[in-house]
Amino acid sequence: MLDILEKQSKGYVILDPYGGMMESISSDSIPFPHRKGNLFTIQYLVEWKETDNDKANDYIAWIRGFHGSMTPYVAQDPRAAYVNYMDVDLGVMNWNKTVVKSNDDVVETGREWGEKYFGNNYDRLVKAKTEIDPFNVFRHQQSIPPMSLEYKNSNGSKLSE
């Protein structure tokens, strides 16, 4: 990690410590599952001034390469992420309507990042979203999607209980 960081003066990491009391809370008791066995989370960052915008693609390529090079040393299956450090490289939803009317492909699309952020809590959060915000009023590129209303009404919940 240090060798890679030395190659790019605009890049840095922040290590947020985990463990301690966090390990005493079960991973499925609240949406944030990253508990037992995690020493810390890593924030990978690269920043530059507006005058360097012509180098933006180089900086972004560097940080993606750095992130990729850490794969052997971090959590796997899935490689986890912290939802408050939104990472659009995990995938995004292009919402163009509020009501989900098609099949439940949106739930599976959201799973791409949802399980990285929420682990095994993703299905439970989809159910909650469907009950609380079925019209998907509160949404962003990586929000948890509701099940489609037609699917829910005709089939009930397809997600595991």
Q: Does pLDDT of 22 surpass 90?
A: no
In whole angstroms, what is the distance from residue 89 CA to residue 18 CA?
A: 24
- The CATH 3.40.462.20 portion of the chain extends over 2-73
In whole angstroms, what is the distance from residue 13 CA to residue 6 CA?
A: 12
Other Cβ atoms less than 10 A from the Cβ of 17: the count is: 10
The CATH fold assigned to 2-73 is Vanillyl-alcohol Oxidase; Chain A, domain 3 (3.40.462)
Query: pLDDT tens digits, residue range 60-118?
Result: 999 999 999 999 988 876 678 888 888 888 888 877 655 555 555 889 999 989 999 99
> In the annotation, is 85 catalytic?
yes
Q: Does pLDDT of 13 surpass 60?
A: yes
Query: pLDDT tens digits, residue range 115-152?
Result: 999 999 999 999 999 999 998 899 999 999 998 766 55
The single residue of 44, 59, 85, 151 carrying the catalytic annotation is 85
**What value does the mean pLDDT take over residues 41-63?**
95
